[in-house]
Amino acid sequence: MNESLQSLEAIQQKIMLVQQKIEQQKVDLEKSKAENDKLVEQLINAEESKKVSEAKIVELEAQIQSLKLAKSLSDEDEVKKAELKKMISNMIKEVDKCLAVVNTEQP
């Protein structure tokens, strides 16, 4: 009888330990979920920042092309005119590529 009582107490202690571990796992899970939410928010902010940076790069590249175009227009040389036509053609291709990228990124 005494042995049965000891076995029962041992089982109860093991059950209590398991319950404590379960509670600790729940706490750890909640912490992990909170950290995950924070990381997801940081990722979204980083992606938005990346898009803004990419747009700025495209804008600056367009300004560079405009400056090159303006410089080319100031020269009356036939070779420069051929280069200008080639540059305009390349600019149109780049704009088309940018539009394609923007269109694929939109939800």
Range of the domain at 39: 2-105
Q: Average pLDDT of 66-88? A: 73
pLDDT band for position 14 (cuts 50, 70, 90): very high
Share of the chain above pLDDT 90, in %: 40
Q: Which tokens hold the place of 85?
A: 């036509």
Number of domains in the chain: 1
Residue 67 has pLDDT above 90, yes or no: no
How much is the pLDDT for 41? 96
Q: Could you give the CA distance from residue 72 to residue 66 in angstroms, rounded to a whole number?
A: 10
Q: Could you give the CA distance from residue 62 to residue 55 in angstroms, rounded to a whole number?
A: 11
Q: Could you give the CA distance from residue 32 to residue 37 in angstroms, rounded to a whole number?
A: 9
